[in-house]
Structure 1
């Protein structure tokens, strides 16, 4: 790829980031043409052959293909075919390869007199994993970190130090992956991002070894979400694309919707508004195709309501409060108050959106409610959001309600 012109690498990367084959790309190029142009285009196989030359950098697309590429990718011609600028993002397969690394953290060290694990024992482990997920709905990371990592340690030791059938071994790997995902999420919420990242990578290795692309995708996407929320969110876009690639086009609708949702958030955190809107649209489209099927249990929470919440958060992040406030207000009017952490987080986004909309009095009122809800929540996420909200309110400190609120807050 290093010897390929930047524009050619960009053509390939943009296509692959959308999980399109070259034949699918050829179809989309044809669909983007007007009637007059379409009748003059060659057969799809001929366009695919041309595309191979374009992506290899042997020839640059001439009109009408350059224009059609711009339409399909929704990019300006200077942006798409610019010879300079940075090279495109790493391909998803390269990102996954780097995540997996060279060492296998699940290397088997079965003891000579190791006990044999039954399918019933693994089923019980999976049940406890789902119990952790349900507990996370109402408890914060500081409350769950010990039991979560105790279960993860149990799962890893069972896989590495016991004997079992091939089928049970496969289920154990899936269990390790699922528990690593929730344990990583809990560690991140407890303010331990490095521990969370290591845990996600352990889970990615287990899911990859089990051949479970959907689970691998969920773990990579969880890591992408954590990185997007960091002070340097740039890598999150590559990770979110890798999660989408790991899931594949045949993944359950909820899995694909979640991938697009996390990609939308990564784009929003990087200030890429157009790409954010496109990813949000893809998430809606993916979920619209949902049909009753045996989705993995860890996708139980992905629904239209969650997509609406992500839209509102993305609009807030992109400083579009007039679109964010109505969505957040509607969601919060029906939200389950027992989910204190999530309620506090969503209130924080509403407070920021109101401040951006130059409604500081209402923003202060919402912030008061957020602080009440999160007072006893052991979550680093809510603590960090509190700092963000207060920082956003300070420019309005001449407003009495805001001044009174800030005067009661310790220095942050």
Structure 2
């Protein structure tokens, strides 16, 4: 969870700084010590990059990622627990370990709950188990990325589809299972899209739309249709994205939860951004804000937990950035980033990428480089094709300032020559 005071320096950062000061080392001396501790078995970037990371670590801006925790421990002669308490080990858990924490374990494997020869009857308890598991997958997506999650996500989706087809159940339970299939399809499609498996994502979204429609769940159908519209607007025909986003809005009735209507309008806004239609974008953003303001908190499905004023602010800032209105985008992005949960590394790095682009558009190349470096450091540890794409976008936008020394240094460091 985010710290209550985002400007408070974490204890591990104070400890890193104190250990260096005990030895009367300047930060450049620590760079040399880290390289010495790395020896031949650990690869480090250039000394300038290591120095920047030391500064970020000691300021508490970024929790050290591999290989830095073990190198600090070697240099200072302390255990990882003594130096970082529980922070570093937690941050470096494997995707499987994180999933094991977030996905509730069923009483028995899904595959064991039925056989073709002796079909098991499924009841409400199974539906409750699956609801917890699909929400756990959504929470996992907050801290992991597409390449980490695509295998587990599609195994879970396949299991629940087979469970629906090969078990017996009441009409109410069958309808609930269809909703679960739709929810799994939405998050699995999102994960596939993040991993740049766009055809797979589109097929998965359509499976979910079919399941939601059969279950009569208009809110879920709208969410899935809007997710597909978002992908098409980004990697397909933006005009088709607009049409599909508006179809997602049309699916919702007038009494749909405010968060659902806000998300649908948000998708419409982004599709209009991709077509370059500024006025239509602003109208849609205004409708999204009004819908969210009118939300009464009743009847919101669990999968809308992330739709809030901060996320709408992010979309507004991204829209202004894409429409080349940086003076409006920058204050919004700075405000969001000051409050954002930094454990959501992928999203944090993506938002930094829009800040870097907006600063470049505002003719502030040095500030753009600072945002870009922070974004690049974070995204280096993120297995997300979206983050990789944004890296290319940021470097391309900065290339127009290649005569500015900090920009040229960054482009050389990342071997960008286009």
TM-score tier, shorter chain, comes to: 0.7 to 0.9
Counterpart of 2:218?
213
Matches within 5 A, 1:107-118: 111=116, 113-118=118-123
Long gaps (5+) in structure 2: 1-114
For 2:227, which of 216, 222, 236 is the aligned residue? 222
Question: CA separation in 1, counterparts of 2:156 and 2:175?
Answer: 18
Matches within 5 A, 1:10-409: 111=116, 113-230=118-235, 232-409=237-414
Question: CA separation in 2, counterparts of 1:299 and 1:370?
Answer: 27
CA deviation vs aligned residue, 1:229-253 (integer Å, no higher than 9, x gap):
1153221101100110112221100
Question: CA separation in 2, counterparts of 1:401 and 1:214?
Answer: 48
Question: CA separation in 1, counterparts of 2:354 and 2:399?
Answer: 16
Query: Normalised by the size of structure 1, how large is the TM-score?
Result: 0.72
Question: CA separation in 2, counterparts of 1:207 and 1:176?
Answer: 8
User: Residue 250 of structure 1: SS of its match in structure 2?
Assistant: coil
Long gaps (5+) in structure 1: 1-109
Count how many residue pairs are aligned between Structure 1 and Structure 2: 303
CA deviation vs aligned residue, 1:131-168 (integer Å, no higher than 9, x gap):
00011111111111111111100110011111110011
Query: Normalised by the size of structure 2, how large is the TM-score?
Result: 0.71
Distance apart, 1:396 and its partner CA = 0.7
CA deviation vs aligned residue, 1:284-342 (integer Å, no higher than 9, x gap):
11111111313100000001111111000000010000100000011111111100000
Distance apart, 1:365 and its partner CA = 1.0
Question: CA separation in 1, counterparts of 2:117 and 2:357?
Answer: 59
Distance apart, 1:112 and its partner CA = 6.0
CA deviation vs aligned residue, 1:28-49 (integer Å, no higher than 9, x gap):
xxxxxxxxxxxxxxxxxxxxxx
CA deviation vs aligned residue, 1:5-47 (integer Å, no higher than 9, x gap):
xxxxxxxxxxxxxxxxxxxxxxxxxxxxxxxxxxxxxxxxxxx
